[in-house]
Amino acid sequence: MRKMSLEEKKEDIGENILEVQQEDRNEKQTSFPFDIPDFKTLLKKQGYALAGHHSAVKTCLWLRHAMNGQGFCYKSKFYGVQSHRCLQMTPTLMCNQRCLFCWRPTEIPVPDLGEWDHPEKIVKESIACQRKLITGFGGSPNAIKERWIESNEPNNVAISLSGEPTLYPYLPELIEEYEKRGFTTFLVTNGTVPEMLAKVSPSQLYMSLDAPDLETYLKVCQPKSAALWEKINESLSLMKQKNSRTVIRTTLVKGQNMFKPEAYAELIKKASPDFVEIKAYMHLGFSRLRLDRSSMPTHAEVLEFSQELAKYLEYEIADESEISRVVLLSKDGKKSPVKKVSGLD
């Protein structure tokens, strides 16, 4: 596959990419109460490893906990993912939203890409980055040796880190490349590029839905264009047609989007997902510059909202994780989905 320039992709989803980059170039950098280095230095300081020109890998807290025998991510409890064998990556650091609750530095413009890397290159380099990031566990007296050995052969990829992955024009091929290597693939999208959503077939398709209406969406997600709300609604309808296991995920922020469960339910019904995840905003990273700690709901508040949503949606509570402040809903109250994910169920 030949590398394609941004201009060559303009007639496809590249229009979305060009719009994001142009606005980033035109926008002044937000003033912070501390010095911000250049973009690449900032990524390194935050623990990212660059895979190729525009992709990145980062180990999460739960991978480290699993390696040290301190528990697993709620995705293990809900979906059977082995936290220490999960590779968290993104094929692009660009995003067309600037959500208030995002822990990433959305205020800092992402440099121009120039050309896109081949999916095979991204997969190869992302695995190499993961192995490099976990090297220290090999000699740690606290780490479980068997898990460190297993972690060097990741078998699940969470295509969700920083940026919107559906802006990468070879996303279907990237998913296929991971699956060729025996990976299960979890894709997380904000639903603003339905053209790409229609093309992808991951093991599990997540879509974020963080507002019950347009007014809240504009305030909380701060999209590049109000027209993206219609794109999200289009993506919800597309999800209903997917063969992948599907999940709608909502991040609740007190005082911002934690209301109108009936309106959320009407939107979710368009997608008819296998699961719905209701999760608390966590006061972490750069979100601390935008929101107060009081914006973080307790698990009891998340559970109460989930119970209300379940009534409108006619779903049932299937599970919950108090430490992660997340509640799982399903149509029958069970964690076993109609659509199986090979290797996980």
Q: How far apart are CA 283 and CA 48, in angstroms?
A: 20
Q: How far apart are CA 336 and CA 338, in angstroms?
A: 7
Distance of CA 6 to the CA centre of its chain: 24
* Residue 56, beta-bridge partner list: 50, 90
Q: How far apart are CA 325 and CA 331, in angstroms?
A: 21
Q: Are 238 and 197 in contact (CB under 8 A)?
A: yes
Domains of the chain by range and CATH?
39-330 (3.20.20.70)
Q: What is the pLDDT of residue 35?
A: 61
- Residue located via tokens 């009891």: 300
Q: What is the pLDDT of residue 7?
A: 46
Q: Could you state, in chain order, the average pLDDT of each consecutive group of 10 residues for the chain (345 residues)?
A: 47 49 46 60 79 91 89 88 93 93 81 85 97 92 92 95 93 98 97 98 97 98 96 98 96 97 98 97 89 96 98 97 96 70 47
Q: Are 302 and 281 in contact (CB under 8 A)?
A: no
